């Protein structure tokens, strides 16, 4: 039985803490767009679209780069 669990790229990439509140950042995707968002304050990077599996990986890495550089949109939920 084969059990070679290949981690999804979105789980594999490591994000720094949120540049705004130091909360936990995570990657998310919806309808072909990937972005990083903070669980705590809701700050997020811009959403980047992809079309193919190769693009998806490249886009995921790009989004992580943006997040780790602190290029986020503050959502206004910060107290």
Interface residues with Zn ion (CB under 5 A) are: 18, 20-21, 23, 38, 40-41, 43
- The distance of closest approach from Cβ of residue 27 to Zn ion in the complex, given in angstroms and rounded to an integer, is 14
> Cβ distance 13 to 27 under 8 Å?
yes
> Cβ distance 36 to 25 under 8 Å?
yes
Q: What is the Cα–Cα distance from 43 to 74, expressed in whole angstroms? A: 5
Using the minimum distance from each CB to Zn ion, give the nearer residue, 17 or 57. Answer: 17
Secondary element (H or E) of residue 34 = strand 33-38
Using the minimum distance from each CB to Zn ion, give the nearer residue, 38 or 60. Answer: 38
- The distance of closest approach from Cβ of residue 11 to Zn ion in the complex, given in angstroms and rounded to an integer, is 20
Secondary element (H or E) of residue 27 = strand 25-30
- The distance of closest approach from Cβ of residue 4 to Zn ion in the complex, given in angstroms and rounded to an integer, is 35
Using the minimum distance from each CB to Zn ion, give the nearer residue, 40 or 55. Answer: 40
């Amino acid at each position: 039985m084969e059990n070679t669990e290949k981690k999804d790229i979105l789980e594999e990439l490591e994000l720094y803490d949120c540049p705004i509140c130091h909360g936990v950042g995570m990657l998310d995707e919806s309808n072909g767009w990937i972005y990083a968002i903070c669980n705590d304050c809701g700050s997020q990077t811009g959403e980047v679209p992809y079309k193919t599996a190769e693009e998806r990986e490249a886009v995921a890495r790009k989004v992580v780069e943006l997040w780790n550089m602190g290029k986020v949109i503050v959502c206004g939920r910060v107290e």
